[in-house]
């Protein structure tokens, strides 16, 4: 019995016939049929019912099929494991990013470049989107990894993550804005102080916007979002033009703006490296995840 015969048998069952299986395997149909018959002779039982228009497994074939698939999967696992240890990773890894990730925080571009030098056979694709859609894409298998804004400490079902950025949220506005002049000398304001002011925030579906909405709901009002933008830097630029109060992560100075902390322990801007669980990642995605976690920890 040879592995190729098991592969041919599985292909015929999955394709429902010898012609389509031969096309899939890029073989001549007579050679494929001969290999299947040789396998049947060795087992002493017919595995395929050829009497109808579609080829179907016999009762014996149905019983053998799971073992054939398991044997092929085991061989593939051996190959992938060997490739991991010899550095011959292949495949594709799809990563989702919150907008602005490549320009700020940790050196993600540098980490990806180092991975590419070590594993040039792996294709890495990058997509920017809001966090809610990226986490849904992770669960659905469209993404392998994501760098996403998160509103809480615990991940949703089907997702695991490691928080790589955890900063306090601040509000920022021009110095003569009513919120600032109404709190002279203050270093922080409660979320309730934002009621009635035009706010500038990230769009719905982002972790930071979810935090802002929850803070305002807890204070008994709905935020008036006058402007939305995709990145904190864009929010700050809008606020510097006097268009409202921006809600931003971090305590660093913002040119032309005065900042106040939000006095609530829930007012945090968190970004996490996320992946799907418990489904196993491909060897390439697993190796990239390992490198990203290691690199992001070193830069914290």
Determine the Cα–Cα distance for residues 59 and 190; give it in Å rounded to an integer: 71
Domains 91-164+271-299 and 166-268 share a fold: yes
Higher pLDDT among residues 204 and 300, named by residue? 204
Superfamily (CATH) of domain 91-164+271-299? Periplasmic binding protein-like II (3.40.190.10)
pLDDT digits (tens, 9 = 90+) for 35-45: 999 999 999 99
pLDDT of residue 141: 87
Domain ranges across the chain:
3-86, 91-164+271-299, 166-268
Q: Which two tokens stand for residue 59?
A: 């009762």
Class of domain 166-268 (CATH, top level): alpha beta
Percent of the chain with pLDDT over 70: 95
Dihedral angle, C-alpha 215, 217, 220, 222, nearest 10 °? 110
Residues 187-192, mean pLDDT to the nearest whole number: 94
Quote the mean pLDDT of the chain: 89
pLDDT digits (tens, 9 = 90+) for 116-151: 998 888 999 999 999 999 999 998 888 999 999 998
Q: 250 falls in which pLDDT band (50, 70, 90)?
A: confident
The alpha carbon of 294 is separated from its chain's Cα centroid by a whole number of angstroms, namely 17
Higher pLDDT among residues 109 and 105, named by residue? 109
Q: Is 63 helix (H, G, I), strand (E, B) or coil?
A: helix
Residues 184-195, mean pLDDT to the nearest whole number: 94
Q: 86 falls in which pLDDT band (50, 70, 90)?
A: low
Q: Which two tokens stand for residue 12?
A: 């015929």
pLDDT digits (tens, 9 = 90+) for 215-247: 999 999 999 999 999 888 899 999 999 999 999
Q: 281 falls in which pLDDT band (50, 70, 90)?
A: confident
Q: 88 falls in which pLDDT band (50, 70, 90)?
A: low
Q: Which two tokens stand for residue 126?
A: 């990058």
pLDDT of residue 63: 94
Residues 87-100, mean pLDDT to the nearest whole number: 83
pLDDT of 84 > 90? The answer is no
pLDDT of residue 140: 85
Determine the Cα–Cα distance for residues 174 and 122; give it in Å rounded to an integer: 47
**Total-model pTM:** 0.68
Instruction: Give the CATH architecture of domain 3-86.
Output: Orthogonal Bundle (1.10)
Percent of the chain with pLDDT over 90: 63
């Amino acid at each position: 019995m040879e592995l190729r015969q098991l592969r041919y048998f599985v292909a015929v069952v999955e394709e429902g016939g010898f012609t389509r299986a031969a096309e899939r395997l890029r073989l001549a149909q007579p050679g494929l049929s001969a290999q299947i018959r040789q396998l049947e002779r060795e087992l002493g039982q017919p595995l395929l019912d050829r009497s109808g228009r579609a080829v179907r497994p016999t009762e014996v074939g149905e019983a053998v099929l799971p073992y054939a698939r398991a044997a092929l999967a085991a061989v593939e696992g051996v190959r992938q494991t060997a490739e991991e240890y010899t550095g011959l990773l292949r495949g594709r890894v799809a990563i989702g990013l919150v907008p602005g990730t490549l320009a700020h925080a940790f050196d993600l571009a540098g980490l990806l470049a180092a991975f590419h030098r070590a594993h040039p056979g792996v294709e890495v694709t990058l997509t920017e989107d809001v966090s809610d859609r990226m986490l849904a894409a992770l669960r659905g298998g469209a993404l392998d990894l994501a760098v996403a804004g998160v509103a809480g400490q615990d991940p949703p079902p089907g997702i695991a993550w490691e928080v790589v950025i955890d900063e306090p949220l601040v509000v920022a506005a021009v110095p003569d804005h009513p919120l600032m002049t109404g709190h002279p000398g203050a270093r922080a304001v409660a979320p309730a102080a934002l009621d009635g002011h035009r706010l500038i925030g990230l769009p719905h579906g982002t972790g930071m916007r979810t935090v802002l909405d929850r803070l305002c709901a807890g204070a008994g009002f709905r935020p008036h979002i006058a402007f939305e933008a995709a990145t904190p830097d864009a929010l700050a630029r809008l606020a510097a033009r006097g268009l409202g109060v921006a809600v931003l992560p971090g305590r660093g100075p913002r040119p032309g703006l005065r900042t106040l902390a939000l006095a609530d322990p829930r007012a945090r801007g968190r970004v996490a490296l996320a992946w799907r669980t418990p489904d196993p990642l491909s060897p390439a995605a697993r190796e990239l995840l390992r490198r990203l976690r290691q690199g992001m920890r070193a830069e914290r």
